[in-house]
Amino acid sequence: MKVSIITVSYNSAKTINDTILSVMGQTWANVEYIIVDGGSTDNTLQICKTYGNRIAKIISEPDKGIYDAMNKGLALATGDIIGILNSDDVYAYGTVLEDVVKKMLESGTNALYADLVYVDRLNLEKIKRYWRSGEFKKNKFKWGWMPPHPTVFFKKDLYLQFGNFNLEFRSAADYELMLRFFYKHGVKPAYLPKVITRMRTGGESNASVKNRVKANNEDRKAWKVNDLRPNLLTLYLKPLRKIPQFIFRKPRA
């Protein structure tokens, strides 16, 4: 089974080599690696090109934001399963993709998610937050739940059936897409109870109170564009669910 991994980058020279190496170090042999760059002005592209044909496709051109770049990657992807790994994130260990494929085949599912840790930007071993996703229940979305997008894998057919990222969103298109797939259309994912992704701290939606308010408004819009109605507390519980991530920092063995 072929796995396509998409990395979106822009001026990511400080981190993208770690990302690339974590993909190159995977034991799963049938991997198509795609990098979609937004026209970086640093040496991001030079770093990518040093890997030659080990990176299947590299494009660099202006885009309309991170989700537009992700959609470009989806259009290029030819794998049966597609995952997205951002240019400052890494896979946590060498058999991540092997575990993902095995779990999806065993469970007969066309989607999967797992656990994630936020790590220090300079020290990938220093855990700041631990996002334990837990088992899937559709109704958990109404209580502010969502899986961490950098751990989510979908079969390509789902994108063809239900669409790509909605470019009306600046910071919550990943939430809208998962809400659309899992809640509106009833896709039932498998849960892999392992930390498979290490994500450097930071992120536009959580950078300030102002940005968090904007993100909350986009979360509300995600329900509206899908003709769905959240509970009264759904959108307030979503950011509150992050609190335990700071308390329980040690992943399960």
Residue 190, beta-bridge partner list: 112
Residue 209: the pLDDT is: 53
> Given a cut of 60, is residue 152 above it in pLDDT?
yes
pLDDT above 70: percentage of residues in the chain: 94
Amino acid 184: pLDDT:
98
pLDDT tens across 82-101, in order?
999 999 999 999 999 999 99
- Comparing CA positions, the residue from 223, 108, 206 lying closest to residue 148 is 206
Determine the number of helices (DSSP H) and then strands (DSSP E) in the chain. 9, 9
pLDDT higher than 70, residue 208: no
The model's confidence at residue 114, banded by pLDDT at 50, 70 and 90, is very high
Instruction: Please report the DSSP string for 69-123 in residue order.
Output: HHHHHHHH--SSEEEE--TTEEESSTTHHHHHHHHHHHHT-SEEEEEEEEE-SS-
Q: Report pLDDT digits (tens) over 158-200.
A: 999 999 999 999 999 999 999 999 999 999 999 999 999 999 9
- Percent over 90 (pLDDT), the chain: 84
Q: Pick 3-247's CATH classification: 3.40.630.30, 3.40.50.720, 3.90.550.10, 2.40.50.100.
A: 3.90.550.10
* C-beta separation of 12 from 87 below 8 A: yes
Across 25-50, average pLDDT: 97
pLDDT of residue 252: 59
- The pLDDT-based confidence of 210 (bands split at 50, 70, 90) is low
The whole-number average pLDDT for the span 4-17 is 98
| Residue 243: per-residue pLDDT | 80
pLDDT of residue 205: 44
* Rounded average pLDDT over 48-56: 97
Is a pLDDT exceeding 50 seen at residue 253? no
Domain boundaries, given as residue ranges, for the chain: 3-247
Burial environment of residue 80 by CB neighbours within 10 A (0 to 12, 13 to 18, 19 or more)? middle
Tell me whether strands 31-37 and 57-60 are parallel, antiparallel or unpaired: parallel
What DSSP designation does 54 have?
G
